[in-house]
Structure 1
């Protein structure tokens, strides 16, 4: 009998796309019946991949824009997290854990992706009486090698970094009332602090990135596995809109510009800056609208505004990428072998931006709130001078290395062991 696996993927497109790649591998290589639980905007992505979709509530983009604190955080404005703001963060997740349990009711194994999956999914699986494991797209286990990615890029030394991880974990107490309510609604007993800590130490984690990008910390336990990237489905048969195909054919490879699922309120200002920087650097550009509602304008034949296009199809056809350094977009640029100009904002974006720079695939990152026409144009120009050849060489070299890895196959083998109770 085929094992039944439910993957809980609460988040943005960057969360769901790699999960679809992993799910397809579980279905094809392991013969598992796989369902992906996500929010409504990603239903077609899931079903187009031949997977069963199960609905999780809420809409992350709408919730961000409706929250004064959430919008301020995304925009990079300093704002103290008030009592009302913290209560709003909990309200945004009310009902999600219960929906996760419903989606997992017939599963033999529940895979919990990302911060929300890690926070709520374990309880849902416990209520269903089945095993679970965590899926992470960024480092999420304490280490002395670096501080938590969401806290920035500064290293405090091995002891200080571990302290930062403990402080970050303490921040989860904001959600303690939500978790307590969830456990009560699912008929689960209260949990002790010691049981929570034991679960965190022993819970199997599969990390969907490459050790060539983030070396495995030597102080991680055997329960944490770096598998390599989980690439989304192959898009080799994708047919682009005629306008995009024509634009790509009518000149030198353009620069891709995209901020992904970043629900900015000042997208028009960012758009003006990007257009000016492209003109100053003498580069053509493809501007992805995304959640920031970027606009390349209509008066410049060298800039085209596009909607979402599969990264695996588009990025090998461009010369470089200006992006926010979300985990998914960062991985896609590395896979395509193109250099980046990093415009990180919040959460783990500065972490990945610094990785790109240290790997030799990008100039020094430009925090999005510090970006100007001049420093963005200078970074683009740096990709064209003698130093640019080094960025391109290192990007291609790393892409060749990633092409020899099979993160999905590694993850599938681990999931098989988890199902068998041997991991």
Structure 2
């Protein structure tokens, strides 16, 4: 079995695909990864060949966050979507030849190209989401697309999802259908349902992020795709951890943030006020220490699975991977959501009693102090430890088995 995995997005989109790739290879499958060029080193570490998609996501995100770049006049979301569909298809069409299935996630235009490639080859295509609210449901509203806010007077989620269909058709319909026509495929009426399919997968832990029933979509919840990390922590980090009480970790992963040093300063001061040491992760925000105090330490890329078991709390942006890793480690969390799925995870952390949801994307000394007081309490710590015992680790194995069974069914001859 040969499988093409496509993840056009940040590390939070790519990392779970690595978990799936590892499980697929344990079944004897050959795996080809398509992802932004930022993750070549990550994939090389697992011997996964990379087909790079587009330009650096870190560079694009940083420029968008800092406002240092603007689209050319007349080039909006629809025009950029058309460019991405075409470019992605051209990059993966040859690679997809000889594959038995395609699994895709990330940016909508890239996933549309992946589905077209699978359709041209007549092989199964699976779309995966990492959080429930990306998929249509009567239990939650859709995400808000830029420039297309949800009407504040509408509370019926089904009505809002119908509006979401219209918005996605308006933003991506022309791009998707123009390209489909150019490669000999028929146009589609509903771009969202075409890309998501009528049976999308949800790679999220069912205790942490359940898919609620009844549902209008036949969602397959596999559990989170966790890539088990056995790397040792660096010696200097081990020394810092051993030198005192468990620190509070602060990091925003592959998420650039505005005024990063002001945020770092506020976080370190708030942590010190709680009588704790600070452990700062650089990440894509390039966080740094604000002074030379020996109660603070800065780290780069490390094994978070090992690290989070040794910290007092985790302050982070609320990506699916970081939230799940902290929950699995039993570490209380302060989630400072920036965009996309992050408000969902912030709300879930607060609802489950395993942490606090920060109000808004810009933390201050006062707001972090209040949040840390909550998460460092014995009650929150106990609840976080309880939740840790519920998190499943077999999601990638479940998904790999499902994909193998899907391919096997496709290979069976049709009886006449």
Q: Same fold (TM over 0.5)?
A: yes
Q: Which of 145, 157, 169 matches 2:139?
A: 145
Aligned partners of 1:146 and 1:158 also within 8 Å: no
Rounded to whole Å, the distance in 2 between the matches of 1:201 and 1:266 is: 36
| Pairwise CA RMSD | 3.1
Q: CA deviation at 1:267?
A: 1.1
The corresponding residue for 1:208 is 203
Alignment partner, residue 219 of structure 2:
224
The within-5 A match list for 1:274-353 is 274-353=267-346
- 1:192 matched to which residue of 2? 188
Structure 2 distance, partners of 1:174, 1:151, is: 9
Q: Paired residue for 1:19?
A: 17
Aligned CA distance change for structure 1 residues 38 and 200 (closer, same or farther; 3 Å): closer
The answer as to whether partners of 1:149 and 1:351 remain within 8 angstroms in 2 is no
Q: Secondary structure at the match of 1:27?
A: helix
Provide structure 2 residue ranges, at least 5 long, that are not aligned to the other structure. 412-416
In the alignment, the residues of structure 1 paired with residue 389 and residue 136 of structure 2 have an alpha-carbon distance, to the nearest angstrom, of 30
- Of 82, 86, 93 in structure 1, the residue corresponding to residue 77 of structure 2 is 86
CA distance in 1 between partners of 2:114 and 2:255 (Å): 24
Write the deviation string for residues 320-360 of structure 1: whole angstroms up to 9, x where unpaired.
10011011111111111111011111111101100000011
Pick from 37, 41, 47 the counterpart of residue 40 of structure 1.
37
SS in 1 for 2:359: coil
Deviation, structure 1 residue 178: 2.7
1 CA distance for matches of 2:364 and 2:215?
40
SS of match in other structure, 2:390: helix
The DSSP-based 3-state class of the residue aligned with 1:402 is: coil
**Cα distance in structure 1, aligned partners of 2:203 and 2:380:** 24
Using the alignment, how far apart are the partners of 2:184 and 2:332 within structure 1? 49
2:254 alignment partner, SS class: coil
Shift of 1:150: 5.4
1:179 aligns to 2:176 (yes or no): yes
TM-score normalised by structure 1 residue count = 0.86
Given the alignment, which residue of 371, 385, 393 partners 1:379?
A: 371
Please point out which of 336, 361, 365 is paired with 1:368: 361
Match of 1:257 in 2: 250
For structure 1, the 5+ residue unaligned runs are 74-78
Partner residue of 1:64?
61
Partner of 2:383: 394
What is the aligned partner in structure 2 of residue 54 from structure 1? 51
Other-structure match for 1:7: 5
Q: Distance in 1 between matches of 2:240 and 2:202?
A: 37
In structure 2, distance between residues paired with 1:311 and 1:295: 18
Q: Does 1:130 align with 2:129?
A: no
CA distance in 2, matches of 1:11, 1:409: 23
Contact 2:233 2:306 in 1 (8 A): no
The worse-fitting range, judged by mean Cα deviation, of 391-400 and 168-177 is 168-177
Alignment-derived partner of residue 118 in structure 1: 111
- 4+ residue segments displaced more than 6 Å: 154-159
Name which of 145, 149, 163 aligns with 2:159. 163
Distance, in Å, in 1 between the alignment partners of 2:262 and 2:138 is 39
Structure-1 residue corresponding to 2:414: none
Q: How far apart are residue 204 of structure 1 and its match? A: 3.1
Query: What is the Cα deviation at residue 174 of structure 1?
Result: 1.4
1:217 positional shift: 2.1
Kept in 2: contact 1:284–1:303 (CA 8 A): yes
> Alignment partner of 1:351: what SS?
helix
Distance 2:229 2:66 in 1: 33
Count, aligned residues:
404
Following the alignment from structure 1 to structure 2, what is the Cα–Cα distance between the partners of residues 165 and 302? 49
The alpha-carbon deviation at position 421 of structure 1 amounts to 3.1
Report the TM-score when normalising by structure 2: 0.88
Deviations 1:21-72 (A, max 9, x none): 11111110x22111111122212212212333222222112123344xx656
Distance change (3 Å), C-alpha of 1:266 and 1:119: farther
Name the SS of the counterpart of 2:213 in structure 1.
Answer: coil
Which of the residues 413, 416, 419 maps onto 2:407?
Answer: 419
Q: Hey, what's the Cα distance between the residues in 1 that align with 2:203 and 2:213?
A: 18
